[in-house]
Structure 1
């Protein structure tokens, strides 16, 4: 399909555990459409975050194929994957992963500078203003609340204008009202930039806002749940 931006074909993920190999993902076949919002749901330990990492090339599938924007991620080495993510993907984690010795502005601008954007600081300031931190951009992470730090992480992910935005439990460390604000900002990024949004969540209200949800059980897609929607 011409509108498919990311696809997995019989993708597996097996990792070494203390007692031997552990099958994390099994026979995942899935197409993600350009511009859609896709929620990955399921019980703890079902493989949701692992699937997100495989989609972003942060974990390498041990079987099958993963394609994004027509490129075979399973054939790329680590350097090529890093360049691909830098150019085409934004990632937001439950933990904010900000550099503590850099201001909010520097945290957002530095990846843009490394990618060769001459307007790195202007673009960083624009994105921080868009997430409501126009007056806080010269503050360090330790001077920001948890919700503000997650806003910085969102701005950092959005600033390169990625085609694909991956979010792993983005509201998991936040209280209810703050989490609601982050939810609104995530979907605003999808609306403003047209990015395909794929997110892992345990929050039913967040999953309900997605245009489609996929449920995982024991590392497999729950096709019955998908068919029932």
Structure 2
């Protein structure tokens, strides 16, 4: 089997609380391979989102080692991590994180422009068409529904053609119909770009669309299983 695109070796995360350090993740060891889809499930507070943040270099491990695409994230500076995310990661959050003063097209084109892509707006248009928003490109986030805003966020994450897609509860703020559509689009974008996908969700039925399902309990891996 090829080398993993993501690897955690006894990775831990502690944050400072009012009463002292709080252990969020405890000795996580995990490999994720190219084009694999992985669902992360577990109760609230189990560390799912924190684990996703470690994988993307959005949080730095306080113990152990995290490697992504051959880079040791635990030794990189913030600038180096930002460049790695820009060039190789797509991240989708529950709360969209769109820039309110920019149109849908501008929101999707911005990361491409920051990466110096000469065809940023052409590629942004293509991605918005892929998620069914060709008639909403010039609308601002406040003019879009929640489902439409998440479609823009998906297009923005996919536009740089990332090696790794990280999705943190992407359907958490949506009704069941919009949520189902977003998941279909997310898996479609993953397949289109041959990306690795790690999906955090409270819904076991969504996680089981992945190749592998990993359960976290109290900051530790408690179960790993191939999806049915």
Instruction: Mark the runs of 5 or more structure 1 residues left unpaired by the alignment.
Output: none
Equivalent residue, structure 2, for 1:22: 22
Tell me, in whole angstroms, the C-alpha distance in 2 between the residues paired with 1:212 and 1:163. 18
What is the count of residue pairs matched by the alignment?
A: 227
Q: 1:91: which partner in 2? A: 91
CA distance in 2, matches of 1:227, 1:122: 41
Match of 2:224 in 1: 226
Which whole-Å CA distance do the structure 1 matches of 2:57 and 2:37 have between them? 19
Equivalents in 2 of 1:117, 1:181: separation in Å?
29
- Cα displacement (A) at 1:226: 1.9
Alpha-carbon deviation of 1:228? Answer: 8.4
User: What whole-Å deviation, never above 9, does each CA across 1:185-224 have from its counterpart, x for those lacking one?
Assistant: 01001111111000100012211101101000000001xx
Q: Which residue of 2 aligns with 1:114?
A: 114
What TM-score, normalized by structure 1, do the two folds share? 0.97
Equivalent-residue separation in structure 2 for 1:78 and 1:205 (angstroms)? 36
Aligned to 1:158: 158
Deviations 1:37-71 (A, max 9, x none): 10000010000000000000000000111001111
1:110 positional shift: 1.1
Unaligned runs of 5+ in 2: none
**Over the residues paired in the alignment, what is the CA RMSD in angstroms?**
1.1
Q: What is the distance in 1 between the residues matched to 2:171 and 2:203?
A: 9
In the alignment, the residues of structure 1 paired with residue 195 and residue 162 of structure 2 have an alpha-carbon distance, to the nearest angstrom, of: 6
Partner SS state of residue 226, structure 1: strand
Cα–Cα, structure 1 residues 23 and 189, in superposed 2: closer, same or farther, change >3 Å? same
Return the offset for 1:227.
5.7
SS in structure 2 of the partner of residue 183 of structure 1:
helix
Alpha-carbon deviations, 1:85-136, whole Å to 9, x = none?
A: 0000000000011011100000000111011000000000000000000111
Alignment partners' CA distance in 2, 1:50 and 1:70: 21
**Quick check: 2:37–2:198 contact (8 Å CA) kept in 1?**
yes
TM-score after normalising by structure 2 = 0.98
- Partners of 1:204 and 1:220 in 2: CA distance: 18
> 2:142 — aligned with what?
142
SS of equivalent residue, structure 2 residue 5 = strand
